[in-house]
Chain A
């Protein structure tokens, strides 16, 4: 059975990139499971401070009833970490979906159509790029928190979305521009294919290969931005949902008093989940990007010769290529 075009790189990946990809997916899957099954997995609610009428101790160190201890508000740290996964995944999914749904089509159209529309959009997104992203997210979260949306999950997601749309736009647009000059696209045009068909059949699939890697790396950034917003106080309130960044903010105070568990666990959760997404992104990059992808090709057996060494393994098998560095999505 022939694999669909876009799955082929996965199949062909070997060795290290495959492991990177797999471990990343495993980590992310772990958190997704935590998020989805939070009500079952978490011992208590995210703002629960008592059970059967008995209050939880305040800032208690980890023990058998509270595996990760309790916070200054007498909530259970483990539960808040688990519920926090739900918040994080919710926000990330929303933010990535929003940005994709807006950024990708915009990039496609702008890149293909060109002209004034393209130039204007490029100007605007360039301007947005110049804005330090965290400040932009803060200001947007600020504005939205005073509207009907309040300070909830959707607000955080929208704030992150606004920051990342230019990224998708830029990447997709650039790729579209290079693809549209390809001979097969020209041929299609010469044959009279309608614009929309060209975009859909040739440009889209070609361009879309870049997007998953970008999306996962942006998911990683989204979690960091969410945590940063929570840390600064513009994020989600503890009575609405559990959020790791907010918990870290309250924990900074605790650290001075030797109370390490309220900050360590949420912090580790952030690190782990972001690492997971990044590994997936890196793995995808390694696998999909033909520029540095390695292919297993059987090396021909050559007779032993007394020649100067010909360089590192795989040199014959690797493809030469040149382009600008990829994989760094935060800048232009």
Chain B
């Protein structure tokens, strides 16, 4: 007994000592000094080889480590040359795109960056066609010619005015020709020509970037070392922010976390326009009744849904009401749904719509959503939507949910009559938000098809002329609102939280979703 008691006494003394030391000891919590920036995030990457990934967390590093021929500047709406000096379509039909590279480009290992590297980057991406990669975006590429080390010519199979945008995507980042032609480069051994280079990668824990001394552009990195620290829950990330353990938190904090941090000392909550939309899909074949009745139901939902309430109550203002499939910050956006149905819920009009079509109310609606892909607020979102629709007296909503894997198979194979989806841009152009949904071959598989729509989509894709595209998109959005096969309701703003003394973060929060570390500075 005495021996054990002694042991216990010693143990508690040690513990007390440890507490004492830690309590009055250093409080800096590990935040970096002036030349180290710590970025906390919950998103974990897949691969740092442009040919091996199609997800934002991977691209967050790719955009900082590599360069693209064209890139969207901060806050801009159109691509501009980055690694290239100039680029343009050289034929009338927009199928031949020629780029001239900047002089003096080098990779971080000192090797030259030439047109050969561009060619191999695209060739290997398409050849490897990694299941996790974005090769499907570039299928329109027929071949690439490299007449000299400074010139690249892209030959496309069909006209595509969005090709310059496609060049700004993560998959189009230029990697050295030394990368294997038939498999993905390991993520901890990547080389690019961007503002930063990869120092270390520990999956699930950290990615460390250091400034690339070989970078030849005029916007080099301002902070020497960036440590990207991974957290698997937003609540722990938030605690890390409060404890000063991270300098910047970007993706993803929950609306509750953000709300709370708004009032906190020493941190700034920064918002910028986003491009992440949320929308309801109606599988037209699975709807009940005649075509008119189906249309009436869709329109009535569009008229009843209270977008402001969702944005405020569920997202605490970090989302905005959305009246078109195209986010508000993008060129060619129009508030089509507001134009068609008003910008506030109009239950009377909805009642009328349903009455005119002879739909009995309350109309039963089976709405599906998934808790495991669009963040924990999805549950709150759909509880809110259900309540709005039920309270109007016009609908009787049954909510169903399944986890993502099951959901993503079932939703597109005619199993769900009405279902939730979110969309995140491949590139910030209106085409990415329309042809993906409204075309008859859309992956949504909602059996929507309108010949006028098809024509307009082809038109906007083929033209580089702003006026033509503007006209086309205006009509596309109008038809989209009239037919309402999909009903968009909110777009999420981009939110980042930064400690005092960290600057430049708000400059990079734009719909391109490129987190430009080189714009960030630290005192």
A contacting B, Cβ–Cβ less than 8 Å = yes
Q: Is A275 located at the chain interface by the 8 A CB criterion?
A: no
C-beta contact mask, A189-233 vs B, less than 8 Å → 1, else 0? Answer: 000000000000000000000000000000000000000000001
Q: How far is the CA of A257 from the CA of B258 in the complex (A)?
A: 9
Return the chain B residue nearest A257 by Cβ.
B260
**Which of A118-126, A173-181, A247-255, A286-294 lies on the face that meets chain B?**
A247-255
Residues from chain A with a CB closer than 8 A to the CB of B382 are 239
Which B residues from 395 to 423 make CB contacts under 8 A with A?
399, 401-403, 405-406
Q: Are B406 and A146 in contact (CB under 8 A)?
A: yes
A76 CB, min distance to chain B CBs, angstroms: 13
Say yes or no: A50-B387 contact (C-beta < 8 A), given A233-B372, A253-B234, A255-B235. yes
Q: How far is the CA of A145 from the CA of B410 in the complex (A)?
A: 14
Q: Are A256 and B235 in contact (CB under 8 A)?
A: yes
Q: How far is the CA of A153 from the CA of B257 in the complex (A)?
A: 31
Q: Are A256 and B242 in contact (CB under 8 A)?
A: yes
Q: How far is the CA of A59 from the CA of B313 in the complex (A)?
A: 11
Which A residues from 15 to 64 make CB contacts under 8 A with B?
47, 49-50, 53, 58-59
B256 CB, min distance to chain A CBs, angstroms: 5
Residues from chain A with a CB closer than 8 A to the CB of B259 are 257
Which among B234, B371, B405 is the interface contact of A237 at CB below 8 angstroms? Answer: B371
C-beta contact mask, B283-327 vs A, less than 8 Å → 1, else 0? Answer: 000000000000000000000000000000100000000000000
Q: How far is the CA of A104 from the CA of B130 in the complex (A)?
A: 51
A73 CB, min distance to chain B CBs, angstroms: 5
Residues from chain A with a CB closer than 8 A to the CB of B242 are 256
Q: Is B33 located at the chain interface by the 8 A CB criterion?
A: no
Q: Are B371 and A258 in contact (CB under 8 A)?
A: no
A11 CB, min distance to chain B CBs, angstroms: 37
Which among B256, B387, B402 is the interface contact of A59 at CB below 8 angstroms? Answer: B256
Q: Is A267 located at the chain interface by the 8 A CB criterion?
A: no
Residues from chain A with a CB closer than 8 A to the CB of B371 are 233, 237
A264 CB, min distance to chain B CBs, angstroms: 16
Q: Are A253 and B383 in contact (CB under 8 A)?
A: no
Q: How far is the CA of A252 from the CA of B235 in the complex (A)?
A: 7
Q: Which of B238, B259, B383: most chain A CB closer than 10 A? A: B383
Q: How far is the CA of A59 from the CA of B406 in the complex (A)?
A: 32
Q: How far is the CA of A145 from the CA of B65 in the complex (A)?
A: 41
Which among A58, A146, A253 is the interface contact of B235 at CB below 8 angstroms? Answer: A253
Q: How far is the CA of A53 from the CA of B393 in the complex (A)?
A: 12
Q: Are B233 and A239 in contact (CB under 8 A)?
A: no
Return the chain B residue nearest A147 by Cβ.
B406
Residues from chain B with a CB closer than 8 A to the CB of A255 are 235
Q: Are B379 and A238 in contact (CB under 8 A)?
A: yes
Q: Is A185 located at the chain interface by the 8 A CB criterion?
A: no
Q: How far is the CA of A72 from the CA of B233 in the complex (A)?
A: 17
Which B residues from 207 to 264 make CB contacts under 8 A with A?
233-235, 238-239, 242, 254, 256-257, 259-260
Q: Are B256 and A239 in contact (CB under 8 A)?
A: no
Residues from chain B with a CB closer than 8 A to the CB of A258 are 260
Q: How far is the CA of A58 from the CA of B406 in the complex (A)?
A: 31
Residues from chain B with a CB closer than 8 A to the CB of A72 are 256, 380
Q: How far is the CA of A53 from the CA of B347 in the complex (A)?
A: 15
Q: How many residues of B contact A (CB 8 A)?
A: 28
Q: Are A73 and B380 in contact (CB under 8 A)?
A: yes
A228 CB, min distance to chain B CBs, angstroms: 16
C-beta contact mask, B497-518 vs A, less than 8 Å → 1, else 0? Answer: 0000000000000000000000
Q: Which of A53, A73, A254: most chain B CB closer than 10 A? A: A73
Residues from chain B with a CB closer than 8 A to the CB of A47 are 383
Q: Is the contact region of chain B dominated by helix, strand, or loop, or is it mixed?
A: helix
Residues from chain B with a CB closer than 8 A to the CB of A252 are 233, 235
Residues from chain B with a CB closer than 8 A to the CB of A238 are 379, 383
A256 CB, min distance to chain B CBs, angstroms: 5
Q: Are B402 and A146 in contact (CB under 8 A)?
A: yes
Q: How far is the CA of A50 from the CA of B386 in the complex (A)?
A: 13
Which B residues from 367 to 397 make CB contacts under 8 A with A?
371-372, 376, 379-380, 382-383, 386-387, 391
Say yes or no: A257-B257 contact (C-beta < 8 A), given A146-B406, A239-B399. yes
Q: Which of A53, A146, A256, A258: most chain B CB closer than 10 A? A: A256
Q: How far is the CA of A238 from the CA of B256 in the complex (A)?
A: 18
Q: How far is the CA of A73 from the CA of B382 in the complex (A)?
A: 10
Return the chain A residue nearest B377 by Cβ.
A72
Q: How far is the CA of A47 from the CA of B387 in the complex (A)?
A: 10
Q: How far is the CA of A50 from the CA of B403 in the complex (A)?
A: 28
Residues from chain A with a CB closer than 8 A to the CB of B254 are 253
Q: Are A73 and B376 in contact (CB under 8 A)?
A: no
Residues from chain B with a CB closer than 8 A to the CB of A50 are 387, 391
Q: Are A253 and B376 in contact (CB under 8 A)?
A: yes
Residues from chain B with a CB closer than 8 A to the CB of A239 are 379, 382-383, 386, 399, 401
Return the chain B residue nearest A75 by Cβ.
B383
Q: How far is the CA of A257 from the CA of B234 in the complex (A)?
A: 12
Q: Are B383 and A256 in contact (CB under 8 A)?
A: no
Q: Are B256 and A254 in contact (CB under 8 A)?
A: yes
Return the chain B residue nearest A258 by Cβ.
B260
Which A residues from 233 to 291 make CB contacts under 8 A with B?
233, 237-239, 250, 252-259
Say yes or no: A257-B256 contact (C-beta < 8 A), given A145-B402, A145-B403. yes
Return the chain A residue nearest B254 by Cβ.
A253
A235 CB, min distance to chain B CBs, angstroms: 11
Residues from chain A with a CB closer than 8 A to the CB of B234 are 253
Return the chain B residue nearest A142 by Cβ.
B403
Return the chain A residue nearest B237 by Cβ.
A256
Q: How far is the CA of A59 from the CA of B259 in the complex (A)?
A: 12
C-beta contact mask, B167-210 vs A, less than 8 Å → 1, else 0? Answer: 00000000000000000000000000000000000000000000
A77 CB, min distance to chain B CBs, angstroms: 15
Q: How far is the CA of A258 from the CA of B242 in the complex (A)?
A: 12
Q: Are A58 and B379 in contact (CB under 8 A)?
A: no
22 intermolecular pairs with C-beta atoms under 8 Å apart: A47-B383, A50-B387, A50-B391, A53-B391, A59-B256, A72-B256, A72-B380, A74-B313, A145-B403, A146-B402, A146-B403, A146-B406, A233-B371, A233-B372, A233-B403, A239-B386, A253-B234, A253-B238, A253-B256, A254-B256, A256-B242, A256-B257
Known: A145-B403, A257-B260. 17 other contacts (CB 8 A): A50-B387, A58-B313, A72-B256, A72-B380, A73-B379, A145-B406, A146-B403, A150-B402, A233-B371, A239-B379, A239-B386, A239-B401, A252-B235, A253-B257, A254-B256, A255-B235, A258-B260
A-side interface residues toward B, CB under 8 Å? Answer: 47, 49-50, 53, 58-59, 72-74, 145-146, 150-151, 233, 237-239, 250, 252-259
What are the 10 A-B residue pairs with the smallest beta carbon separation, nearest first?
A257-B260, A253-B235, A256-B238, A146-B406, A73-B380, A252-B235, A239-B399, A253-B256, A256-B235, A253-B254
